[in-house]
C-alpha cells in the first residue's frame, strides 16, 4: 500500500503541462485492436490504467512498444478472446474489449468490469446496443463473465435510453467495421468521443456527428494503421486549475484546451475567479471566492469528474454552496475525509420530479435516491488528518485539500490517484509541494 504525506500550505509556483487525456487513451488503445497493422499513439499519459490496457493487448495476442509518451500497438491476429479476471477487474474500460473482439474474432469472454467505486456502473446499455448489432451476449453469474458471440456485426439504428459516454464509444468501435450503416441516437457528446472518432477516421473509418446527439458510422471492410496524437486531459486541467486558484495564483498551466472546460470557466468566473490566457497557457486566480451551487450534468454540462475539486474550492467560498450529483449514485467518497480536515459539509436529498428520468444512473422502482447532494459552508480553514482515497477524483480532491491545509496530512490508497494522474506527486513537488510518497508493506 502506498501513501502520500503532505505538509500543507507551502508556496506553490511554476508551470505544469497537462497530460494526454486518460479517457481517450484507454479507448484508442482498444480501437487500435481493430486493425492488423501497427498503430502509433502519441501524447499517451503514463498512468496505471493505461498499463492495464496495454497488458490486455498482450493477453489477446498483440504487442506494444512504449517510448516516452508514444506507444505503438500491433495486433496482427487475435489469439485469445478471453480477458482474464485479474486484469479485467482492474479497470472498467476492459469491458470495452467486447467491441474489437466481436468485430475481429466474432467472440469474446469478458469479466464483469472493475474500475472506480463510484456506483454500480453496470454496462447494460453497451450490451443492449451490441445485441442490436447482432451479438448474442449472456452473463454467467456463476463465474462473473459475459460470453459474447456473433455471426458478424451489422449496422443498425439504435437509440440509447440514457446518456452513456463509454457505451457510445463501444458502439462506435463495434460499428466501424460492421456491415452497413449504424446510426446512434441519443449519443453522448463528450469531446473525448470526438477524439476517438478522429482517431478511427485516421485509420480509415467513416464516422461523423450527423445531428444533435446523433452519430453515423458507415462500416468499412478494413481499417489500417495510423499515427495519432490524442487531446489533453480536461479533467486534469480542472484539477490543476483549482489548485492554482486556491494556492495563490502563481501556477501556470500549459496544453490547455479551453473548449471542453467552457462551463467550468464560466462557473469559476461566477464564483469570483479569473484567468489570463496566452495561447494554450492559463493562469487562474481568485481573491474572494463566492458560494456558488452547481449540478453535474452530461456534456456540455458541469462534469461529474470536477465536482470533488469544486467542493474543495467552495470550502473556501463565502456562504453556502450546493453540489447536486446527477450522473453517479456514489461520487461523494471524499466528503467524510474532507470533514475530518475541518470542512463543513452536510448531505441532503434534493426533491426531484421523475428521478428515473432525471438521474443518469439506473433507478429501481422509480424511487428517488438519497443523499445525492451536499451543502458546503465556507470559508473554513482546513487542517491535517489521516484520510483514505475511495476513487480517482476523490483522491485528487484530497491531495489538493492537503496542500492547502495546515499541518501534515497522510493520504492512504493513492494507487487510485495513480490510475489517472501521471506522476502526480512528482509534478506537485516540482511546483514546490512538500509531498513524500511512502510504500508500505
Instruction: Please spell the DSSP secondary structure of 178-233, one letter per residue.
Output: SBSEEEEES----HHHHHHHHHHHHTT-EEEEEETTEEEEE--S-----EEEPPB-
The per-type count for the chain, helices as H runs and strands as E runs, is 15, 23
> If binding is defined by CB under 6 A, does position 95 make contact with ligand EPU?
no
Question: Torsion-angle region of residue 354: left (phi > 0), alpha (psi -120 to 50) or beta?
Answer: left
> If binding is defined by CB under 6 A, does position 301 make contact with ligand EPU?
no
Q: Strand pairing of 39-42 and 145-150?
A: unpaired
Give residue for cell 472518432. 197
Residue 263 Cβ vs ligand EPU, minimum distance, rounded to whole Å: 13
Identity of the residue, 177 or 360, whose beta carbon is nearer to ligand EPU in the bound complex = 360
Give residue for cell 441532503. 348
Instruction: Please spell the DSSP secondary structure of 108-156, one letter per residue.
Output: EEEEPP----SS----HHHHHHHHHTTEEEEEETTTTEEEEEES--B--
Catalytic: 116? Answer: yes
With CB under 6 A, what is the number of residues at the site for ligand EPU? 32
> If binding is defined by CB under 6 A, does position 166 make contact with ligand EPU?
yes
Give residue for cell 458560494. 291
The contact mask relative to ligand EPU for 402-421 (x = CB under 6 A, - = no) is ------------------x-
Residue 202 Cβ vs ligand EPU, minimum distance, rounded to whole Å: 20
> If binding is defined by CB under 6 A, does position 98 make contact with ligand EPU?
no
Helix (H, G, I), strand (E, B) or coil at 6: strand
Under 8 Å CB-to-CB from 389, ≥6 apart: which residues?
333, 337, 395, 398, 411, 412, 413, 414, 416, 417
Identity of the residue, 289 or 417, whose beta carbon is nearer to ligand EPU in the bound complex = 417
Residue 365 Cβ vs ligand EPU, minimum distance, rounded to whole Å: 15
What sign does the dihedral 23-25-28-33 (CA atoms) show? negative
Map the footprint of ligand EPU across residues 1-30, applying CB under 6 A. Answer: 22-23, 26
> If binding is defined by CB under 6 A, does position 122 make contact with ligand EPU?
yes
Map the footprint of ligand EPU across residues 224-253, applying CB under 6 A. Answer: 235
> If binding is defined by CB under 6 A, does position 163 make contact with ligand EPU?
yes
> If binding is defined by CB under 6 A, does position 270 make contact with ligand EPU?
no
Report the alpha-carbon distance of residue 296 to residue 233 in Å, rounded: 18
Q: Strand pairing of 408-412 and 386-388?
A: parallel
> If binding is defined by CB under 6 A, does position 164 make contact with ligand EPU?
yes
> If binding is defined by CB under 6 A, does position 362 make contact with ligand EPU?
yes
- Which member of 21, 116, 130, 404 is catalytic? 116
Residue 281 Cβ vs ligand EPU, minimum distance, rounded to whole Å: 24
> If binding is defined by CB under 6 A, does position 288 make contact with ligand EPU?
no
Catalytic positions, written as ranges:
116
Q: Which residues are at the interface with ligand EPU (CB under 6 A)?
A: 22-23, 26, 93, 116, 119-126, 163-167, 188, 190, 235, 303-305, 327-328, 360-362, 392-393, 420
Amino acid at each position: 500500500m502506498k501513501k502520500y504525506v503532505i505538509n500543507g500550505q507551502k508556496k506553490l509556483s511554476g508551470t505544469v503541462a497537462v497530460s494526454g487525456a486518460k479517457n481517450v487513451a484507454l479507448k484508442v488503445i482498444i480501437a487500435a485492436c481493430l486493425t492488423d497493422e501497427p498503430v502509433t499513439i502519441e501524447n499517451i499519459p503514463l498512468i496505471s490504467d493505461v498499463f492495464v490496457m496495454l497488458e490486455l493487448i498482450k493477453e489477446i495476442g498483440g504487442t506494444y512498444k512504449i517510448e516516452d509518451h508514444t506507444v505503438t500497438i500491433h495486433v496482427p491476429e487475435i489469439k485469445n478472446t478471453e480477458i482474464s479476471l485479474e486484469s479485467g477487474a482492474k479497470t472498467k474500460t476492459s469491458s470495452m474489449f467486447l467491441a474489437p473482439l466481436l468485430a475481429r474474432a466474432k467472440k469474446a469472454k469478458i469479466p464483469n468490469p472493475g474500475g472506480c467505486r463510484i456506483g454500480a456502473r453496470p454496462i447494460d446499455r453497451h450490451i443492449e446496443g451490441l445485441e442490436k448489432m447482432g451479438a448474442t451476449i449472456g452473463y454467467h453469474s456463476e463465474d462473473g463473465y459475459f460470453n459474447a458471440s456473433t455471426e458478424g456485426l451489422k449496422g443498425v439504428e439504435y437509440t440509447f435510453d440514457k446518456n452513456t459516454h463509454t457505451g457510445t464509444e463501444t458502439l462506435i468501435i463495434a460499428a466501424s467495421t460492421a456491415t452497413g450503416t449504424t446510426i446512434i441516437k441519443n449519443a453522448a457528446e463528450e469531446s473525448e468521443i470526438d477524439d476517438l472518432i478522429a482517431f478511427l477516421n485516421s485509420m480509415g473509418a467513416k464516422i461523423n456527428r450527423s445531428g444533435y446527439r446523433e452519430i453515423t458510422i458507415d462500416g468499412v471492410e478494413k481499417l489500417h494503421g495510423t499515427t495519432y496524437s490524442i487531446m489533453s486531459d480536461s479533467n486534469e486541467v480542472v484539477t490543476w486549475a483549482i489548485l492554482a486558484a486556491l494556492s495563490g495564483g502563481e501556477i501556470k498551466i500549459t496544453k490547455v484546451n479551453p473548449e471542453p472546460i467552457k462551463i467550468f470557466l464560466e462557473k469559476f468566473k461566477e464564483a469570483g475567479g479569473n484567468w489570463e490566457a496566452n495561447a494554450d497557457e492559463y493562469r487562474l486566480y481568485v481573491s474572494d471566492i463566492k458560494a456558488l451551487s452547481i449540478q453535474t450534468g452530461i456534456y456540455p454540462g458541469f462534469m461529474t469528474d470536477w465536482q470533488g475539486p469544486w467542493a474543495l474550492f467552495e470550502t473556501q467560498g463565502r456562504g453556502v454552496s450546493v453540489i447536486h450529483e446527477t450522473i453517479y449514485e456514489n461520487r461523494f467518497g471524499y466528503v467524510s475525509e474532507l470533514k475530518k480536515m475541518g470542512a463543513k459539509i452536510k448531505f441532503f436529498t434534493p426533491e426531484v420530479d421523475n428521478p428515473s428520468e432525471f438521474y443518469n444512473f439506473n433507478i429501481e422502482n422509480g424511487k428517488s435516491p438519497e443523499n445525492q447532494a451536499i451543502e458546503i459552508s465556507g470559508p473554513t480553514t482546513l487542517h491535517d488528518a489521516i484520510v483514505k482515497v475511495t476513487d480517482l477524483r476523490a483522491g485528487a480532491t484530497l491531495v489538493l485539500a492537503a496542500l492547502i491545509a495546515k499541518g501534515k496530512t497522510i493520504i492512504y490508497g493513492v494507487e487510485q490517484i495513480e490510475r489517472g494522474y501521471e506522476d502526480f506527486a512528482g509534478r506537485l513537488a516540482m511546483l514546490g509541494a512538500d509531498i513524500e510518497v511512502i510504500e508500505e508493506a
